[in-house]
């Protein structure tokens, strides 16, 4: 035993290292690229061929995500019944106020509606004065164009294209 309290192995038990020079090894590039958001073409924006309105969600980054059918929103959303065919919208929420699968936005004959999927921090909508109204969990609530929606403290806006 040496003076520092550690056991020193006898000479020759551990072979000497030959790779003590400074060698940098490059990490290979990712084999899979990150997903890319492709906005709809100009001919697809606005009113659709059947006269209905197309809806978009505007994220804090400025990205505009189309709502085609149902859109599950959350930190890491997953599909489940009755939204097994829904599109997924994962959001980056550093405050972690957004649940894993927080809410669903759905197109309907009347426009667009939102349902809080029993999230931890709830869903609120802001009126013109900026006052928040908390929505009931599990109840589909219609939204109008320009409505600001809060998922916990994460903010996004619902607009028409």
* pTM score: 0.67
The reported pLDDT for the residue numbered 11 is 74
Domains of the chain (ranges, CATH numbers): 52-160 (2.60.200.20)
Cis peptide before 82 (omega within 30 of 0): yes
Rounded alpha-carbon distances, angstroms, from residue 82 to 24, 39, 78: 52, 27, 12
| pLDDT per residue as tens digits for the range 49-64 | 455 578 999 999 999 9
- Please write the tens of the pLDDT for every residue from 39-49: 555 444 444 44
pLDDT digits (tens, 9 = 90+) for 66-108: 999 999 999 999 999 999 999 999 999 888 999 999 999 999 8
Two tokens, residue 153: 């403290």
Extended strands (E) in the chain: 55-58, 64-67, 70-74, 87-90, 103-108, 111-116, 123-126, 132-134, 141-143, 147-151, 154-160
Biggest alpha carbon–alpha carbon distance for the chain: 86
CA distances from 135 to 20, 21, 91, 95, 119 (A): 63, 63, 20, 21, 11
Question: In angstroms, rounded to a whole number, what is the distance separating the alpha carbons of residues 75 and 73?
Answer: 7
């Amino acid at each position: 035993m040496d003076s520092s309290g550690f056991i020193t192995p006898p000479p020759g038990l551990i072979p000497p290292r030959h790779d003590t020079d400074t060698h940098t090894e490059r990490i290979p590039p990712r084999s899979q690229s990150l997903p890319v958001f492709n906005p709809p073409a100009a001919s697809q924006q606005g009113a659709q061929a059947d006269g209905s309105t197309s809806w978009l969600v505007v994220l804090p980054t400025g990205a505009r995500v189309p709502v085609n059918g149902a859109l599950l929103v959350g930190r890491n959303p997953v599909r489940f019944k009755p939204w097994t065919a829904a599109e997924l919208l994962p959001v980056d929420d550093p405050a972690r106020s957004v649940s894993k699968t927080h809410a669903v936005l759905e197109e309907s004959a009347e426009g667009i509606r939102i349902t809080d999927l029993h999230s931890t921090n709830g869903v609120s909508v802001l009126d013109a004065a900026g006052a928040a109204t908390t929505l009931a969990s599990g109840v589909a609530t219609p939204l109008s164009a320009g409505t600001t929606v809060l998922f916990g403290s994460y903010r996004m806006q619902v607009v028409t294209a």
